[in-house]
A and B are shown apart, each in its own frame.
Chain A
Amino acid sequence: GEDVEQSLFLSVREGDSSVINCTYTDSSSTYLYWYKQEPGAGLQLLTYIFSNMDMKQDQRLTVLLNKKDKHLSLRIADTQTGDSAIYFCAESITSASKIIFGSGTRLSIRP
């Protein structure tokens, strides 16, 4: 079945890199997403990657995909206080199909 797993918490020092990891089970997943949710707010799509890609970089964000291990990671370089949020890993089979979300990783930044 479909399952997406992430660790629940991550604490990093301001200025360091944050790496949030995710594993998924559905081998037919074609789209893999990272969403950000700030307290009391909706979802913000940060980035996404196709399953035929290994890496995608977008400014401070780097997504790595290991399709063989069904492992996805999000690296945030030079983490800032404004990056404090919950980060959801998610997957879908097509761009128009339902999205299955992971449990979310709460990223906290310490000075």
Chain B
Amino acid sequence: GAVVSQHPSWVICKSGTSVKIECRSLDFQATTMFWYRQFPKQSLMLMATSNEGSKATYEQGVEKDKFLINHASLTLSTLTVTSAHPEDSSFYICSASRQGAEKLFFGSGTQLSVL
């Protein structure tokens, strides 16, 4: 089946630094990828929709200058949390759509802890 690889699986960083999370579709081309954030004991909230070769569409309340999304190829989307602060500590998970598939494919998620 289709595989979505997300890296890193966890990261700890100092406040003020930037962190890049990668989401790769390993065996298919993903024209659209989605980025979600999940705070502890809460649901997954859609942050943005990433389309290959174009600007990402951000959900209301998500700062596009803070959460930079790049979808430069059909197999890779990146989320960069710029100038991370402790309140950005969360579980980030991506998903990718494959043409003709009846479902989205999710990465395994990245646990970000900002000290």
- List residues of A whose CB falls within 8 A of some B CB: 31, 33, 40-43, 45, 48, 88, 92, 95-104
Assess whether B43 is in contact with A88, with CB atoms less than 8 Å apart. Answer: yes
Number of chain B residues close to chain A: CB under 8 A: 22
Q: Is the CB of A95 within 8 A of B93?
A: no
16 more A-B contacts (CB under 8 A) besides A99-B95, A104-B43? Answer: A40-B111, A42-B93, A42-B107, A42-B108, A43-B106, A45-B106, A88-B43, A96-B32, A96-B99, A96-B101, A96-B104, A97-B97, A99-B46, A101-B44, A102-B43, A104-B42
Which residues on the A side are within 8 Å of B49 (C-beta)?
98
Give, as a whole number of angstroms, the nearest-CB distance from B45 to chain A.
Answer: 8
Is the CB–CB distance between B102 and A95 below 8 Å? yes
Q: Which residues of A contact B32 (CB under 8 A)?
A: 96
Dominant secondary structure at the A interface? loop
Query: B34: CB under 8 A from chain A?
Result: yes
Residue among B36, B42, B97, B104 having the largest count of chain A Cβ atoms under 10 Å: B104
CB-contact partner of B34 in A31, A33, A99, under 8 A: A99
Neighbouring A residues of B34 by C-beta, 8 Å: 98-99
- In the complex, what residue of chain A is closest to B102 when comparing beta carbons? A95
Q: Give min CB distance, B34 to chain A, whole Å.
A: 6
* Chain B, residue nearest A102 (CB): B43
Most B CB within 10 A of own CB, among A92, A99, A100: A99
Would you give the 0/1 interface string for B32-68, flagging 1 where the beta carbon is closer than 8 Å to chain A? 1010100000111110010000000000000000000
Give the complex CA separation of A99 and B49 in angstroms: 11
Residue in A41, A42, A95 whose CB lies within 8 Å of B104: A95
